[in-house]
Amino acid sequence: MSAIQYGQSAQERTNESSVLVWDWGVRVFHWGLAVCVGICAYTGFLGPRNWLNVHLVVGVMIAALVAFRVVWGWFGSTYARFESFAISPSAMKRHVREIALGQCRRIHLGHNPLGAAMIYAMLVVLFLLVASGVVALGGALKQGPLAFTLAFANGSLARQIHELLAIALLFMILAHLAGVAFESWWTSEDLVRAMVTGRKREISSGSVQSNRARPWGAAAVMVIIAAAVTPGVILLSNLPARGVPQGPLDPTYARECGSCHFAYPPSLAPSGTWTAVMGGLRDHFGENASLDAGTTVQLREWLVDNAGEHWDTRAANMFSRVSPTEPLRITATPAWLWFHQDLPDKIFTSPAIGAKGACGACHQDAATARFDPQQIAIPKETKP
């Protein structure tokens, strides 16, 4: 039996009048969120690492949209308000049973029980995505308002949770689209068009907005939220990040080592690696790099005191695992190989870079030992 047999004839639908159901606040939230989630999905799963700032800006927009939707759930018009689509397990079961038995009727002008549950679930997941993203940013990348207090381990765990939530959200979106397609067919109501125009067919003479939207009240609440949150975020973001080297390289180290190759920040290797390197300067990767005894002791002590285990950056944590075959070569560590696995070898032999260890050629913040994704800029002249 077709959907039209359950509903009305084409002529009856043509003669029906429409009513405004989705006000401008609901529609702005819906389509704004759709665009923002699409951009975040691309930049998070497919985009290059140096697009992180785009991901962050759009993530902030998602947070603002979620906050607006919560506020609009109290200040919007009738069908935008939470009271019009409260969660009811019994109503959800009844709705599913009616669909299974082919008895589902068009009695919900706003969200039906399953649609209501999806709205609440998406809002919760979006909130958790924003929260886990802030924790991941602060702990793993030492950026944002929580960088001053979170450890890398906290951020690494939050990043995994963030990715799982993102995948869950994508499945929820697919389920939502499937539900929209099914209900559009079942009720002969073009729900996509309704979310554009805001209007749907009346289901009774009384299907009108009983509550008017209060945009000025919503605007006032949003301003209060922004005024309360923004200064705190700025203040906390300007605090020194936890476990990040703050001082410059030792001048002697920068001069002696930087005269031949990029002077690696000591946080890129554990103390054992630096002790071994300074103990084998007579055969330093095939060359004699010997220094006088006093300078050798001075540099060894400085390198050990500032080795990776004394810092909590992503690089310090990930580069602590050395290569089993070339334990003294930073560019042979599993972390270095993983980070650069998508780059062809010819890039590193190009005149613009010159060697795998020329970190400063692509990482604009290499000397600070941060290696932020936003600071990656591979030279265009990378042909050998």
Q: Are residues 263 and 358 in the same domain?
A: yes
Degrees, nearest 5: CA angle 56-61-64: 130
Q: Are residues 223 and 301 in the same domain?
A: no
In the predicted model, residues of the chain with pLDDT beneath 70 are 1-16, 103-107, 204-209, 381-384
pLDDT of 87: 84
Task: Please answer whether residues 56 and 237 qualify as being in contact, where contact means their C-beta atoms are separated by less than 8 angstroms.
Answer: no
pLDDT of 207: 56
- Boundary-marking domain end, from 181, 208, 237: 237
- Boundary-marking domain end, from 193, 213, 237: 237
- Provide the residue type at 75 as one letter: F
pLDDT of 188: 79
Q: Are residues 170 and 295 in the same domain?
A: no
Q: Are residues 291 and 326 in the same domain?
A: yes
Q: Are residues 205 and 313 in the same domain?
A: no
pLDDT of 8: 42
Q: pLDDT, tens digit, for every residue of 5-55?
A: 334 444 444 446 888 889 999 999 999 999 999 999 999 999 999 999 999
Indicate if the alpha-carbon torsion angle 86, 90, 91, 92 is positive or negative.
positive
Q: Are residues 225 and 321 in the same domain?
A: no
Is 266 a domain residue? yes
State the pTM of this model.
Answer: 0.87
Q: Are residues 32 and 174 in the same domain?
A: yes
| CATH number of the domain to which 20 belongs | 1.20.950.20
pLDDT of 84: 87
Which spans in the chain are helix H?
3-6, 10-15, 24-45, 52-75, 89-101, 113-140, 152-187, 191-197, 215-237, 251-258, 271-279, 293-305, 314-318, 334-339, 345-349
Q: What are the structure tokens assigned to 368, written together?
A: 């600070």
Q: Are residues 189 and 290 in the same domain?
A: no
Domain membership of residue 330 as a residue range: 251-375
For residues 222-255, b (16+ Cβ closer than 10 Å) or e, as one string? beeeeeeeeeeeeeebeeebbbbbeeebbeebee
